[in-house]
Structure 1
Amino acid sequence: MSTPDSSGLFHGHYTVLDDREFQVRGRTLFFVVIVVTVVLLVTVFLLYARWVCRTNHARHAPPQKPCGLDAALILGLPIVLYQSSGDLESAGSGECCICLGVFENGDKVKVLPECRHCYHSDCVDTWLSAKSSCPLCRTSLRSNSDEVTQVVVQ
């Protein structure tokens, strides 16, 4: 069944896979241990430095100002009832860009004083409690809020 030539091929491959050639001795083992130790120490040091930076940043970070507008100012914005033949439609504001709903006759619509963009009252109230700009053109309403605050204080 087996020919003498085929047994010679297996014998040649078997001697190449001798386990004695894969032994780690003396200096090689020492250098492997040193390299692994250095990598572990550097990793632990970097993780510790990251933790220290995060905890110090959290302690020394200045308190952030609220991004949205004051609730009194939001409630003070004028509310109008939408009419399809009125000035609001001629300004090109036939839909609320926050909820993407089309304005119907009789909807409560708020008109922002700076840019005159119109939104559903509930939609823009939620938006302005988180952000202080117009959702469409990003015109800041903070400057207007400072003027309103000064008028109320005087």
Structure 2
Amino acid sequence: MASSSQQSQPFDGHFTVLDDTQFHIRGRTLFFVVVLFTVVLLVTVLLLYARWVCHSHPNTSSSSNTPPNAPPQSQPKGLDPTVIRALPIVLYHQSVRDLEAGGGGGECCICLGVFGDGEKVKVLPNCSHSYHSECVDTWLATRSSCPLCRAQLQAQSTTT
């Protein structure tokens, strides 16, 4: 009989009884919950608005005076191939000062290769910087400036 009395008694564990009558949100806690919810909501709305603005107006800039239906302006292009071919090619000669200083001679700042005595180099007209012909031709096909000092060579291409 003792075993039947043990089985008939209900288990009095605090985990089985869900009593939420003592759970109340009051005062400061309620205020902080409302403020936190409002902040999260505002940040979400601002991020969605920023995303919408970026996706709906991708080509706007503050300095652009082009009409909205105009095609986007392309980046500055390189020189015309005939202008690139017309640049002077000279034979490189080491100066006496370079030899006395122990230097290996001039250097192509594009490939970082050292010019050998008697090697053909291309000289840019505005700044007189020298480069290997292949190196500077590739550069000038996409840009219209000196690789070293950024002197513009565009004026040369408009005269031809």
Give the structure-1-normalised TM-score: 0.61
Report the equivalent of 1:74. Answer: 84
More helix, by proportion: 1
Shift of 1:49: 2.8
Do residues 32 (structure 1) and 44 (structure 2) align? no
Larger Rg: 2
Specify every segment of 5 or more residues in structure 2 that has no aligned partner in the other structure, as ranges: 1-22, 62-71, 96-104
Shift of 1:119: 0.5
For residues 67 and 36 of structure 1, do their structure 2 counterparts lie closer, same or farther at Cα, with a shift above 3 Å needed?
farther
Give the structure-2-normalised TM-score: 0.59
Report the equivalent of 2:49. Answer: 49
Identity of aligned residues (%): 49
**Partner SS state of residue 41, structure 1:** helix
Cα distance in 2, alignment partners of residues 24 and 121 from structure 1: 82
For residues 121 and 51 of structure 1, do their structure 2 counterparts lie closer, same or farther at Cα, with a shift above 3 Å needed?
same
**Partner SS state of residue 58, structure 2:** helix
Which letter maps to 1:37? F
For residues 37 and 142 of structure 1, do their structure 2 counterparts lie closer, same or farther at Cα, with a shift above 3 Å needed?
same
Specify every segment of 5 or more residues in structure 1 that has no aligned partner in the other structure, as ranges: 1-22, 86-92, 149-154
Report the equivalent of 1:151. Answer: none
Which letter maps to 1:70? D
How many residue pairs match? The answer is 119
Provide, for residues 2-43 of structure 1, a one-character-per-residue CA deviation record: whole Å limited to 9, x for no partner.
xxxxxxxxxxxxxxxxxxxxx873233322221122211221
Which letter maps to 1:50? A
Give the root-mean-square deviation of aligned CA atoms.
2.7
Cα distance in 1, alignment partners of residues 78 and 154 from structure 2: 9
Cα distance in 2, alignment partners of residues 63 and 113 from structure 1: 28
Cα distance in 2, alignment partners of residues 103 and 133 from structure 1: 21
